[in-house]
Chains A and B, each alone.
Chain A
Amino acid sequence: GAVVSQHPSRVICKSGTSVKIECRSLDFQATTMFWYRQFPKQSLMLMATSNEGSKATYEQGVEKDKFLINHASLTLSTLTVTSAHPEDSSFYICSARDGGGSLEQYFGPGTRLTVT
């Protein structure tokens, strides 16, 4: 099946710093990418929908100025957690929709963020 990668897989940062997470579709063009957050023992919660070349759409309760999303190409979306705090520690997962054919979503392996 189609492959989606995320980088880094794990990151530890200090409180107040910013962290960028990359999501790439490796063998298809993704006009839409989705960012999810998952806290321990909970389900995935959609944070935002990222469309190539336009502004992201954020879910209720997700601060767009804190979670900056850039989707500048058909294969790359980035999520930047600005001024991270310990409560932002979570598992961040992206998915990419194959805009060329099946319209299916493929998930990345996730990024474990720990803010100390």
Chain B
Amino acid sequence: DAKTTQPTSMDCAEGRAANLPCNHSTISGNEYVYWYRQIHSQGPQYIIHGLKNNETNEMASLIITEDRKSSTLILPHATLRDTAVYYCIVRVNNNAGNMLTFGGGTRLMVKP
């Protein structure tokens, strides 16, 4: 699976949009971009994933660049409960490729 690069940490004001970038310049054509987050002392929580089109769900939006070498996770109105480590992972989405490889992630601190 392709490696990803994320900033180590970010701050965001409560109520503002949090934009978390991820670089995945070696992504292959059949690899998806996945985002998970981990709140302190809990298991990771799935947020969103996409292949090439932008995606939106009740939690977040995912913007993938046209060349697919980078993406941005957007939390439109961050709350204090969104403070967590956010992991960007790229992987194929089939039987063989379901192992998730976690990098360092971005530690997002939402401040009042």
Contact = CB atoms under 8 A, between A and B. Distances in A.
A85 interface: no
A42 B66 CA distance: 32
A1 B46 contact: yes
Interface residues of B, number: 20
Contacts of B98: 32, 97, 103, 105
B104 interface: yes
Contacts of A109: 42-43
B103 A43 contact: yes
Contact of B41 (A46, A91, A95): A91
Nearest to B98: A97
Contacts of B94: 103
Given A43-B103, A43-B104, A110 B95 contact: no
A34 B100 contact: yes
B43 A112 contact: no
A108 B43 contact: yes
Contacts of A97: 98
Nearest to B107: A41
Contacts of A103: 93-95, 98
Contacts of B43: 4, 6, 93, 95, 107-110
Given A1-B46, A43-B102, A107-B46, 9 more contacts: A4-B43, A43-B87, A46-B99, A46-B101, A103-B95, A103-B98, A105-B46, A105-B98, A106-B46
Interface of B: 36, 38, 41-46, 87, 93-95, 98-105
22 contacts: A1-B46, A4-B43, A34-B99, A34-B100, A43-B105, A44-B38, A46-B101, A91-B41, A93-B43, A95-B43, A95-B100, A103-B94, A103-B95, A103-B98, A105-B46, A105-B100, A107-B43, A107-B46, A109-B42, A109-B43, A110-B43, A112-B41
